[in-house]
Amino acid sequence: MDMVALAMGIMLGLCGVGAGIALIAGIGPGIGEGQAVAAACEAIGRQPEAKGDVTSTMIMGCAIAETTGLYGLIIGILLIFVAPGIFSGVLKETVLALK
Amino acid sequence: MTEQKRGRDARFRLTDGLLIALMILPLVGCIVLKVLFTPESEGVDISGAMVFLRLPAPGQELIISESQVNSWAIMLTLLGLCLYLTHGLTEKAETKRQLIAEWIVEKCEGLVQANMGERFAGYSYLIAAIMGLSALSSLSCLIGLFAPTGDVNVTAGWAILVFCLVTWTKLQGGILNYLKGFMEPIPVFTPMNFISEFSLPVSMAFRHYGNVMSGAVISALISTALKGLSRLLLGALPVIGEIPLLGIGLPAILSIYFDVFSGLMQAFIFAMLTMLNVSGSFPQEAWEKRQRKKAARKQRVAAAGA
């Protein structure tokens, strides 16, 4: 029984670590969106009359650039809220099969 | 004359009332279903769509979940809204609702023509439907419903529809041309092209679902945290301690970004990507070549017949 508890603990801990690692994916969109906004600011400064067009294009591009970060976020959320349930079920089945 | 007009007015109003009922009743029904089916729980409550019904079916059991029921209710609401807006149209716009309906149609047609060109002008109805359904689905969490777009199955269904449209558009240039497209620029790239072909629906589905779902999860986490904080800070006070004071109002500010802005933005982006992918995948040269060939064959047949 102790070993099962240990396995459960390792599983939960690794799920948390995995979620943390998955959220590293947020770096890319952060840099990319920052660059997009910087370029948009520059464009507005150069051509203030095109503010509306630049802003809408920038928001659209930002939302698309966000996607890769969101993949990481989905994986993180699934690892914290969904995966432990599935994995503990698998673990229990394995333990029962071994007995 | 006046008698007749009054009779028509009464009927007109009755139809109006029925249409408004068609708009509101599905959503009310969904709220009632949700209240009936929600189990009592304490603390953080983050789960997917509730399952209402499990139907036995060959292979795998058929699951009727909250997201399906809600999305059908939203479709009914949208239908009611459209019927209400177009009820009693006159040649010259007189009523407010006709002006609104005309504005919506004009905007959609303008958007589709600006992004897809003349050839795809007929797609404006599809784009308008996708946009309205997506926006209303995302906004439905404002009245406490589970947003159907927060379920990957719903958005995956839409993305598969877009994938079918893209493939259909590519097939306009002939099957051989379609298969040859996988071998661009050199045949070695075939597996990569296959992957990029199938990554389109996956990325579209996950983009929309991820935005809505992560917004819902973050909102739930923050409102629960605020409840806990207010219990910690004000719990010692006699009467005020029992009300989660910090949970009032603050989550609503986040909801403006996560639910309203993000939901509408994603609806627009989904429609925009649909337009760009469909119009971008049209093989102009191959289609023209095929049309020329067809015309030449027709001419030959006509000549042979003569």
Note the pLDDT tens digit of each residue in A14-59.
Answer: 999 999 999 999 999 999 999 999 999 999 999 999 888 888 888 8
Residue A85 sits at the chain B interface (C-beta within 8 Å): no
> What residues make up the domain containing B151?
146-305
Residue B278 lies in a domain: yes
The position carrying tokens 């139809």 is B15
Question: Which site among B208, B269, B270 would you substitute to test the A interface, given the most A Cβ atoms closer than 10 Å to its Cβ?
Answer: B269
Residue B213 lies in a domain: yes
Confidence of residue B47 (pLDDT cuts 50, 70, 90): low
Residue B297 has a pLDDT of 92
CA–CA separation, B63 and B70 (whole Å): 14
Residue B67 lies in a domain: no
**B43 three-state secondary structure:** coil
Give the minimum alpha-carbon distance from A73 to chain B in angstroms, rounded to a whole number.
Answer: 7
Is B210 within 8 Å of A71 when comparing Cβ atoms?
A: yes
Largest CA distance in chain A: 75
- Mean pLDDT of all residues in B140-146: 85
Of the CA atoms within 13 Å of residue B202, those in its CB half-sphere come to 8
Closest residue in chain A to residue B266, using alpha carbons only: A63
Residue B112 lies in a domain: no
Closest residue in chain A to residue B270, using alpha carbons only: A64
- Pull the structure tokens for residue B163: 């994938």
Residue B24 lies in a domain: no
Closest residue in chain A to residue B213, using alpha carbons only: A74
CA–CA separation, A76 and A82 (whole Å): 10
pTM, entire model: 0.82
Residue B153 lies in a domain: yes
Give the minimum alpha-carbon distance from A57 to chain B in angstroms, rounded to a whole number.
Answer: 11
Residue B165 lies in a domain: yes
ipTM score: 0.73
Residue B71 lies in a domain: no
**pLDDT (tens digit, 9 = 90+) per residue, B219-231?**
888 888 888 888 8
Confidence of residue B1 (pLDDT cuts 50, 70, 90): very low
Residue B56 has a pLDDT of 83
Q: What domain count does chain B have?
A: 1
